[in-house]
A and B are shown apart, each in its own frame.
Chain A
Amino acid sequence: MSEEKQNPSCPAGAGEPTAVRSSAPIWIIVVTLTLLFLGGIYFDHHSGWLNPRVYAPYDTADQLEASQPKSGAAAAMAHGKGVYETVCGICHGADGMGKPGVAPPLAGSDWVNTKGFYRLAHIPLCGVNGTIMVEGKQWSSAMAAMGAALSDDDLASVLTYIRGSWGNKGTAVGAEDIAKIRAAVGKAPAPNTGDQLMAMPE
């Protein structure tokens, strides 16, 4: 029993409560909409846009990707991928599947999946002329010495990338090895045919 009521059976004014009908002040709606806008900006800047790999303190997927510490091999692969896409991918395809009549596939190719890379390195360094047999098919479109203009580092990393992508299981290629092969073939080597390449050791 509340102490205000002396008579439990019908004090004045103690009926069921009522509410004053009036609408909410406009300022509170405006404030809420402003906060909604600001909140949206905050979400845009910090949430990683629902990416499940982005955790605080990283704000975006790009920042997370850029911050990744790369080991030597991973750095070479990343670098090699960049070189490949600029130089080789136009003809051999970004997926390494080649283009009919243009360039043979690199994925699963016996030329790539070799133990050594001496023979393979001659292909971009010197170019290919005549016919070459790849995966049981004859290819006769010539290849320029696309690797001649690349630095030792770049050529080594692109060969590492090719040998480690699309299911290929070749080892990495070092820049020093490329330098040696380049020194051996000389400044403007002639392109090799398929048979000439096959005559080389792996």
Chain B
Amino acid sequence: MKTSYGVFFAVLAALGASWAGFVLGPLIQLGAAQQTTVLNSTDVYPIQRPGLAAMGAQVYRSYGCAACHTRQVQQTGISFEVVLTSPGKDPVTVSNLLSTLKLTALTKEAADTAAKTLTDAGGKTETHLSATGADISRGWGSRHSVAADYLYDVPVELGTLRAGPDLANIGQRNPDANWQLVHLYAPKAVVKDSAMPSFKFLFQVRPVGAAPSPDALKLPAGFEAPAGMEVVPTAEGAELAAYLLSLHADAPLYEAPYTPATAKP
């Protein structure tokens, strides 16, 4: 039934097709991607990581942090909300409508209908879009991750296991450099019952000099350095903390739109 030529050509066709579709195709479609602009703004996105953070990305890679942490936010749906910006000439009718209409967690069609009802009554409305999903509700991000979030990263380590929380927006969730460093030094000091190992080798415990070093960690009770000693990060520790602080993936984009909370009408 099958000769070795037959097998060879079948393999060529099968693997050639998937190679063309999943290697060549994405290379052509996404391989030359450039910066994009933030939605309704002229800001470019993403910005390349500054030097210390870029070196921190390599520290992240070398210690295999992606074995326990993911760096991608998942979104399962979208929901619309209609907001009244001005009651217009007939505030009584409009406020009556407000109490009867459903204005949150709507589909696009329902939101458009509600907005039209309010506009016909003279009011001015705005429709807000927000992302929905478990990750979003947990505060791990405001919208799903897209290719633009990883444009300049080599390697892109999306992670496969959530033994620890997602890190896509950790720089936004925990912007305090001291928190990041203390968490790396002694995770249980800041997160109760943390399963994360302590990365003490990223730090140096040394005697306090003439004055305490400005880089010294401020450790909570029970985890302080011995008397007369201070904990300072090594170069790797500082780089890793800088990298974690640089992790943001929240700018609204065309591919992942949402209405930011501070949007002006």
Contacts and interface: CB of A to CB of B under 8 A. Distances in A.
A52 B256 CA distance: 12
Given A21-B1, A69-B40, A69-B258, A57 B263 contact: no
B255 A53 contact: yes
A69 B39 contact: yes
Contacts of A99: none
B228 to A, nearest CB: 55
B40 A70 contact: yes
B151 interface: no
Contacts of B99: none
Contacts of A52: 29-30, 147
Given A52-B29, A57-B75, A57-B76, A67 B257 contact: yes
A69 B264 CA distance: 12
Interface string B111-147: 0000000000000000111000000000000001011
Interface in A30-73: 50, 52-58, 63-64, 66-72
A18 to B, nearest CB: 13
A57 B259 CA distance: 16
29 contacts: A21-B1, A50-B29, A53-B255, A54-B255, A55-B144, A55-B146, A56-B75, A56-B144, A57-B76, A57-B144, A58-B78, A64-B254, A64-B255, A67-B108, A67-B129, A67-B257, A68-B39, A68-B129, A69-B40, A69-B127, A69-B128, A69-B129, A69-B252, A69-B257, A69-B263, A70-B40, A71-B40, A71-B263, A71-B264
Interface of B: 1, 29-30, 39-40, 75-78, 80, 108, 127-129, 144, 146-147, 252, 254-259, 263-265
